[in-house]
Amino acid sequence: MAELMVIIGLMLATVLLVGVGERVRLPYPVLVTLLGIAVALVPGLPVLVVPPELILPLFLPPLLYATAQRTSWSMFKVRWRSILLLALVLVLITVAAVAVTAWLLVPGITIAAAVALGALSPMWMVGSAVARSGRSSSFS
C-alpha cells in the first residue's frame, strides 16, 4: 500500500513539475530527473519495484495531459501543416534511416529488430527538442 501511495505521489509531482517548469522557464524533464534524485536520497521510503513495461503507461499520460492543457489551439491551427509533416513524415524517414543503418552495420540483426531500434530514435529527438526549447508546448 505504501508503494502505491509513493507512485501516486510521484505521478502527481510529475504533473505539477510541468507547470513549475513553465513558470521558472526550465524544461520539465530536468525537474522530473531532479525529483527522482531527491526521492532516491530520502531515507525510509519503500523501495519501489515497478516493472519497466509500466513506466510509460503510468507516467506518460499525466505528462501528455498537462502539456495538452497548455497547448495554444490557435497556434496549432496556424501551424497544422508543419506539425503534421514533423509528426508523420519526418518520423517515418528517421525510423527508416536508422533501421537501414542498423541493418547494414549490425551483424545478425533482423529487420524487425532494426525497425524497432529505428522507432526509438524519434523519441530521443523529441525529448532533446523539449529540453533545448525549455518549454513543453511551444510551437514558435
Q: Which pLDDT tens digit goes with each residue over 27-39?
A: 888 888 888 888 8
pLDDT at 50: 74
Query: Per this entry, what is the length of the chain?
Result: 140
pLDDT computed for residue 100 by the predictor = 93
Contact 11, 58 (CB under 8 A): yes
Q: What is the pLDDT of residue 137?
A: 45
CB neighbourhood size of 127 (10 A): 12
pLDDT, tens digit (0-9, with 9 covering 90-100), for 76-90: 888 888 888 887 888
Query: What is the Cα–Cα distance from 117 to 100, expressed in whole angstroms?
Result: 10
* Residue 55 clears pLDDT 80, i.e. is over it: no
Tell me the C-alpha distance between 45 and 2, whole Å: 9
Chain centroid offset of residue 43 CA: 28
**What letter does residue 136 receive in the DSSP assignment?**
S
Q: Each residue of 61-71: pLDDT tens digit?
A: 777 776 777 77
Helices (H), 2-139: 2-24, 28-41, 52-69, 73-78, 80-84, 91-105, 111-133
Question: What residue type is assigned to position 121 of the chain?
Answer: S
